[in-house]
Every structure is written in structure tokens, then in C-alpha cells.
Amino acid sequence: MPKKSFIKRYLITGLLIWVPLAITLWVLDLLVSTMDQTLLLLPPEFRTENWIGFHVPGMGVVMTLLIVFLTGAFATNLLGARLVHLWHEILHRIPVVNSIYSSVKQISDTLFSPSGQAFRKALLVQWPGPGMWTIAFLTGVPGGDVRNHLKGDYVSVYVPTTPNPTGGYFVMVPREAVIELDMTVDEALKYIISMGVVAPNGNGRRSGSARPAATQPRAVNQ
């Protein structure tokens, strides 16, 4: 093999090792640094600078998790539940804040509810036109007045963009036109982010070379 081919091969191999590691460390550093800002909300006497004389990276993560845990524990008792309800009532009475807070709370309640189905299933849908397929996520069923104008059984799905799945499209499609995939949400996200390079191939799940999903449709159940 020519010398240049060896050099190119070694460079690519090195990049494949270091690029994912560097990005992972960068993301972790960003998260830790962001959560460390939680310490700024504490009185000075509770900060690590006053305990041991210097700042300890990562203490913000611990403090954030501790605050979230204690908040959840407090909100589950009778007194805490009443105070949380009072807090919600106050926020709902503030103009502008009411619309933002209500929308965010509805979304968070839907996403994090143990009984909710939002983003629990990966689906295969025809998008952006007939004969073209992409991965989507089940978000629920149409509601409100929208439901009165749709004839038949429909489901609501989120079609993410690639390689950034935080952007996408919300569409409502007939239930019989949706195929439930035998893959986890995590596998589907990896498939989307990698632009189809990292094909799902989990235990007991079909790989990317499986039969076309459209030949044996399996309707999704809410």
C-alpha cells in the first residue's frame, strides 16, 4: 500500500477516536459549567470556596440534583402540594408569564408523565411525500376543535430534522398510515442524528437491511 494511503488511513482512524471523545467532553464540560451556576444562587457561606478555599467543578450538578429531589419530595406531601398549587395560581394570574408558563408546563407534564405516551414510540411515516419514508415520534392524538374536522382515526407525530432533531414538524396522520418500529427512541434518535449512518441493530430488533417496512405495515396503538 502506498505511503500516502497509510497516512490517510491513520489520520482518519485517529479522527474517529478523538472527535467523538472531544465532543463528549465538550458537552459534559458545558453541562457541568451551566449547572455550576446553581451555586451562585446559594449564600456565600454555603459555597465550596468558603469550605476548602477553591471552587470544586461539578458541585453545581450535585446541588441541582439535590434541589430537584428535595423539591419533588416537598411537593408530594399535603402542605407542599397546596403551596405548589398556590404558586401555579399566582403565575397564571400574571399577564405574559401566564401564557409562557402554561404552555411550558403542559409540554413538560406530557413529556415527563409516567402514564404519557409522548415520545415513547418510534414510527415510520411517509414524509415529505408519498413513497418517501422517515422516522417520527408519537406525541399523542389530535385534540380540541382539530379533532372535529378530521374524519377517521388520526395520531399526532413529530417529524424531526437531521442532524439536529430539536427542530422538526408536527403533523397529524391517519393511524393506519403509521408503522410502529421495533426500535427504542434512543436508537431512532441515533439513526436520525447520524443521517442514517448508524443503523439500529439491537437485540431482537431488525437491522437497517431488513425488509421494507411498507410491505407489512403494523399500525401503532396509542
Residue 212 has pLDDT above 50, yes or no: no
52 occurs within a structural domain: no
Please give the pLDDT value at position 111: 60
150 occurs within a structural domain: yes
Of residues 106 and 167, more confidently modeled? 167
| CB distance 136 to 158 below 8 Å | yes
| CB distance 110 to 116 below 8 Å | yes
Of residues 209 and 31, more confidently modeled? 31
- What is the extent of the structural domain holding 126? 122-215
| Arithmetic mean of pLDDT, 155-174 | 89
The Cα-based distances of 66 to 39, 54, 73, 164 in angstroms read 12, 21, 10, 31
If one counts the domains in the chain, the total is 1
143 occurs within a structural domain: yes
97 occurs within a structural domain: no
Confidence of residue 207 (pLDDT cuts 50, 70, 90): very low
Is pTM beyond 0.95? Reply is no
Listed range (67-71, 148-152, 182-186) with the worst mean pLDDT:
67-71
For 143-155, the three-class secondary structure string (H helix, E strand, C coil) is CCHHHHHCCCCEE
98 occurs within a structural domain: no
188 occurs within a structural domain: yes
Long-range contacts of 44-50 (CB under 8 A, 24+ apart): none
Q: What phi and psi values does residue 136 have, to the nearest 5 degrees?
A: -135, 175
35 occurs within a structural domain: no
Please give the pLDDT value at position 14: 83
Give the C-alpha separation, 195 to 159, whole Å.
14
Please give the pLDDT value at position 211: 38
> For 51-74, how does the pLDDT look when each residue is reduced to its tens digit (9 = 90+)?
777 767 777 777 777 877 888 888
Please give the pLDDT value at position 11: 84
193 occurs within a structural domain: yes
Residue 166 has pLDDT above 60, yes or no: yes
| CB distance 131 to 149 below 8 Å | no
H/E segment holding residue 174? strand 168-174
Residue 123 has pLDDT above 50, yes or no: yes
The pLDDT > 90 percentage for the chain reads 16
Confidence of residue 214 (pLDDT cuts 50, 70, 90): very low
Give the C-alpha separation, 118 to 122, whole Å.
10
| Arithmetic mean of pLDDT, 158-164 | 88
H/E segment holding residue 31? helix 3-36
Q: Which three cell numbers stand for residue 209?
A: 437491511
